[in-house]
């Protein structure tokens, strides 16, 4: 499903930045603006990479900025949420889920592990251990051949981050690209890939609002790579049709289909 340009939306609840001066000092225009700018600025890697058209959406906009029309045109949605998961409309969550199952990519960031959309797609609690103690995080690239790891070294480090620790209550990832180690000793599955329906889902752990994580060049590279990886290969709407047979059915087949179930042994004769 080759396109000239990928339509990307960066969604953010945009509450911490408005309420906390310290966080606003780091992200004066909101985390979504920094993430979007990083996607626009990060050079494309590989001959198959497609240029991006990046927009933003926030919780306070009508329909959270995710109208049906806008989602229908979206190839990849990035999701950052934390304190306002409960404020997200169930109708919008259903809309996003349907688009993922049809083929849209979804990238869930940091505390988005507890978002309605991620928990629905995973079917688990998505709970974990956490601690905010300004710790160093070392992200090990455990699948260097994976497209999301393109352009990275063996590992990269963030000087200060919130700790997330195992057990992370998620289904086993289809692919695990990164594992994090923290200064306090914990480890965490920090770069996880899944297929859901026709769409791809990537969870990326770093991104606590109190640290300038989204200015980091390695983090920006991961997100840019992830957008290319998550881009739709097909778009197939959910239908459940009653389908005519390709071949001519025998009389017995027709009788069985009409009855729905075999009523007597004589039906087999």
How many domains does the chain fold into? Answer: 1
Q: What is the 3-state secondary structure (H, E, C) of 21-68?
A: HHHHHHCCCCHHHHHHHHHHHCCCCCCCCCCEEEEEEECCCHHHHCCH
First-to-last alpha carbon distance for the chain, in angstroms, is 49
Looking at every residue in the chain, the average pLDDT score rounds to 94
Whole-number pLDDT of residue 251: 78
Assess if residue 74 is contained within a domain. yes
**Residue 91 is part of a domain; what is its CATH number?**
3.40.50.880
Assess if residue 209 is contained within a domain. yes
Q: Provide the angle, in degrees to the nearest 10, between the axes of the packed helices 31-41 and 217-230.
A: 80
Task: Count Cβ atoms below 10 Å from residue 61 Cβ, excluding itself.
Answer: 13
Assess if residue 221 is contained within a domain. yes
Q: Which domain holds residue 212?
A: 6-230
Q: What is the pLDDT of residues 119-146, one digit of tens each?
A: 999 999 999 999 999 999 999 999 999 9
Global confidence as pTM: 0.93
Judge whether residue 257 has pLDDT over 80: no
Assess if residue 116 is contained within a domain. yes
> Are 257 and 249 spatial neighbours (Cβ–Cβ below 8 Å)?
yes
- Residue 45 has φ and ψ, to the nearest 5°, of -120, 135
Assess if residue 237 is contained within a domain. no
Assess if residue 260 is contained within a domain. no
Enumerate the β-bridge partners of residue 77: 9, 106
Assess if residue 249 is contained within a domain. no
Whole-number pLDDT of residue 70: 98
Q: What is the pLDDT of residues 156-193, one digit of tens each?
A: 999 999 999 999 999 999 999 999 999 999 999 999 99
Whole-number pLDDT of residue 58: 98
Whole-number pLDDT of residue 47: 84
Whole-number pLDDT of residue 263: 53
- Residue environment code for 123-137, b if the CB has 16+ CB neighbours within 10 A, otherwise e: eeebebeeeeeebeb
- Which CA distances in Å does 186 have to 104, 153, 162, 200, 222? 33, 22, 11, 28, 22
- Residue 189, judged by CB atoms within 10 A of its CB (0-12, 13-18, 19+), counts as buried
Classified as helix, coil or strand, 197 is: coil
Assess if residue 84 is contained within a domain. yes
Whole-number pLDDT of residue 26: 98
Whole-number pLDDT of residue 80: 98
Q: How many Å apart are CA 170 and CA 194, to the nearest integer? A: 11
Specify the higher pLDDT residue, 46 or 206.
206
Indicate the pLDDT class of residue 254, thresholds 50, 70 and 90.
low
């Amino acid at each position: 499903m080759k396109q000239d340009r990928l339509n990307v939306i960066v969604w953010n609840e945009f509450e911490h930045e408005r309420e906390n001066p310290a966080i606003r000092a780091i992200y004066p225009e909101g985390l979504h603006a920094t993430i979007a700018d990083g996607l626009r600025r990060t050079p494309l890697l590989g001959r198959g990479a497609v240029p991006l058209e990046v927009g933003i959406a926030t919780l306070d906009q009508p329909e959270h900025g995710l109208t049906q029309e806008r989602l229908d045109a979206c190839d990849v949605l990035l999701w950052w949420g934390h304190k306002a998961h409960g404020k997200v409309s169930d109708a919008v969550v259903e809309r996003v889920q349907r688009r993922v199952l049809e083929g849209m990519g979804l990238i869930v960031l940091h505390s988005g592990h507890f978002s309605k959309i991620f928990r629905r797609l995973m079917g688990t609690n998505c709970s974990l251990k956490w601690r905010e103690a300004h710790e160093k995080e070392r992200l090990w690239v455990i699948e260097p051949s994976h497209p999301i790891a393109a352009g990275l070294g063996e590992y990269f480090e963030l000087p200060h981050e919130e700790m997330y620790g195992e057990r992370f209550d998620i289904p086993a990832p289809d692919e695990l690209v990164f594992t994090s180690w923290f200064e306090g000793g914990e480890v965490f599955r920090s770069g996880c890939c899944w297929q859901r329906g026709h769409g791809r889902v990537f969870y990326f752990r770093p991104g606590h609002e109190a640290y300038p994580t989204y200015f980091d060049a390695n983090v920006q590279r991961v997100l840019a790579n992830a957008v290319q990886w998550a881009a739709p290969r097909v778009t197939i709407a959910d239908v459940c049709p009653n389908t005519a047979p390709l071949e001519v059915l025998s009389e017995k087949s027709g009788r069985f289909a009409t009855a729905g179930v075999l009523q007597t042994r004589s039906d087999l004769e």
